[in-house]
Structure 1
């Protein structure tokens, strides 16, 4: 009986448990497969730390946020890692191949492992929706719903005090969460990494809102920059992938708006609330479909492939298409929304 190991790597994401459940149920019922979960991402793969995943282990988990097998930003080429060690772990545990669930960094690591002889496949995961090989990733819908509700809530307190409210959402290189939540909630300005905007332009939008007797609402992605900035604001050091930990542009923007417009302005950073909690129905469904599809993928032995959503179909794409080609907000889309800012 074929035996496969599943790992979830990188940031946690609503819908991960639905993927795990879909994989295990499809595999055990349709293909006669067995599964284990590598605990805490690639760390479990490197050190052979696993937990059995059978039907009982995954019952009822689709509605849970996070991941029951844990995650981390530990890389497979960390000390004690590398292909020779990992091959030994797989042989010792009787595991035929690895199913890696993660974002661009995870898929890049999986692609490198593939070239080093590790049989591995992928499932795309990111709340940022910035993987070009798939139309949507699970977790994005939930994050947008959370951010939209946050805008709606901030609007009421802004209206009560006649303040300008700034909401900072996640989005390192791509402003999808900011765009979708901002458009859905009718924000008066949406600021994204793909398109720098001047402080003067932002203040012009804010003042035009006040002139109409409204309280301005600004949504800003964490990766947004002013034209004079060479890189996104970061003051929190590096993350586990040695990338700057972003966050804080909203706290910089709010006092600048207040200083230049005279409108009392407050900033809120949504942060990890976007990642946590109950996944939406959409994300549970997409996660389940991805899980079932990746079980079919390993049954066919098509290593180096990742499942993806194209239109309404689940397809298979090579890692090479999924890595190093981020999906950003098209400028035409942004310009369309920008036309009605203010």
Structure 2
């Protein structure tokens, strides 16, 4: 193996730059050339590549976003697009590809793997929904960003005796909402993995009010329903006047936390090591503090469960 390529695809997440840096420097340490593909698979199809050196990735470990930029590619979802991407990699004399992203990015990587090209994935998504790793790059930072906002909202909720609905990211996964809910002491968490029961939520709010609690916080994962819809349901059903806050893409921004920077660095270096050892069609992950690998297709085929004890903690500690 003489040359590696690395790209970031799908939604950005804090720590992607740290992973790019680790891939680049670990490869150079092994006397490999490295090129960066800009704008994900779309950039691959366009041949939008740049050389990566020790100096070009210097100082990026704590930068948010991705220096390679990212995009979603409809062209690459078609067989002819994958074949074109494969031809491009070969024309660039690339011997292995590192893909940093989530399940959509890994589906594209799997298609290259099925055509015989060596690919290794690094889990970069704030949703933490990939099976085979305890944490994904960006999740810890996103949780802390959302938590900071929720804690400040609680101050306002307490001062004005109000009910707040805070919408966080998570179309199909409740990891962010649940983690923020537990860490902030929210009264209720609404997530895709648990069936939503409006009556039960209203009962909890009524019980809290009856025992003298004058403010409450509900953390809502965006995939269940919009915050405005939940606020309307609470108003129409029980007369609650809920104020809403939608945190949105702020959760993806900013430099990575120490945990994410360390995780990204470990995974980036391990991805290069795995490729050089002949492994392919895998995602590198971290389970119980140890580096591990898992077949790419399993990362989305298997459902990553939420910790039952955290679900119980929301109920136990919000009384």
TM-score (norm 1): 0.88
Distance in 1 separating the partners of 2:72 and 2:55? 28
Corresponding residue for 1:17? 17
Corresponding residue for 1:191? 190
Cα deviation, residue 340, structure 1 = 3.7
Cα deviation, residue 106, structure 1 = 1.3
Corresponding residue for 2:247? 270
Corresponding residue for 1:322? 299
Q: Quick one: which of 268, 273, 282 aligns to 1:305?
A: 282
Cα deviation, residue 259, structure 1 = 3.5
Q: Is the 8 A contact 2:5 2:96 kept in 1?
A: yes
Distance in 1 separating the partners of 2:58 and 2:31? 18
* Residue 291 (structure 1) aligned with residue 268 (structure 2): yes
Q: Is the 8 A contact 1:205 1:341 kept in 2?
A: no
Q: Is the 8 A contact 1:4 1:35 kept in 2?
A: yes
Deviation digits for residues 91-122 of structure 1 (CA, Å, limit 9, x no counterpart) = 32221121111111111221122112222111
Deviation digits for residues 223-246 of structure 1 (CA, Å, limit 9, x no counterpart) = 22xxxxxxxx4xxxxxxxxxxxxx
3-state SS of 1:277 partner:
coil
Q: Is the 8 A contact 1:171 1:177 kept in 2?
A: yes
* Residue 133 (structure 1) aligned with residue 132 (structure 2): yes
Corresponding residue for 1:142? 141
* Residue 86 (structure 1) aligned with residue 63 (structure 2): no
Cα deviation, residue 44, structure 1 = 1.6
Give the stretch that moved more between structures: 86-95 or 211-220. Answer: 86-95
Distance in 1 separating the partners of 2:78 and 2:45? 9
Q: Is the 8 A contact 2:99 2:109 kept in 1?
A: yes
Distance in 1 separating the partners of 2:28 and 2:150? 43
Distance in 2 separating the partners of 1:214 and 1:62? 44
Cα deviation, residue 59, structure 1 = 0.3
Cα deviation, residue 78, structure 1 = 4.3
Deviation digits for residues 251-306 of structure 1 (CA, Å, limit 9, x no counterpart) = 11113223433343111111101101111111011001111111111212211122
Corresponding residue for 1:45? 44
Q: Is the 8 A contact 1:124 1:131 kept in 2?
A: yes
Q: Is the 8 A contact 2:113 2:281 kept in 1?
A: yes
Give the stretch that moved more between structures: 252-261 or 191-200. Answer: 252-261
Cα deviation, residue 77, structure 1 = 3.5
Answer 1 or 2: which has greater helix percent: 2
Map 1:135-174 onto structure 2 (within 5 A): 135-174=134-173
Distance in 2 separating the partners of 1:155 and 1:261? 22
Q: Is the 8 A contact 2:86 2:112 kept in 1?
A: no
Cα deviation, residue 133, structure 1 = 1.0
3-state SS of 1:82 partner:
helix
Q: Is the 8 A contact 1:44 1:50 kept in 2?
A: yes
How many residues are treated as equivalent by the alignment? 317
Give the stretch that moved more between structures: 281-290 or 103-112. Answer: 103-112
Corresponding residue for 1:207? 206
Q: Quick one: which of 253, 260, 279 aligns to 2:237?
A: 260
Aligned residues: CA RMSD: 1.7
3-state SS of 2:59 partner:
coil
3-state SS of 2:12 partner:
coil
3-state SS of 1:166 partner:
strand
Distance in 2 separating the partners of 1:282 and 1:214? 36
3-state SS of 2:301 partner:
coil
Deviation digits for residues 195-224 of structure 1 (CA, Å, limit 9, x no counterpart) = 122211111222222232330111011122
Distance in 1 separating the partners of 2:270 and 2:97? 14
Distance in 1 separating the partners of 2:79 and 2:39? 16
Cα deviation, residue 47, structure 1 = 1.9
Corresponding residue for 1:227? none
Corresponding residue for 2:53? 54
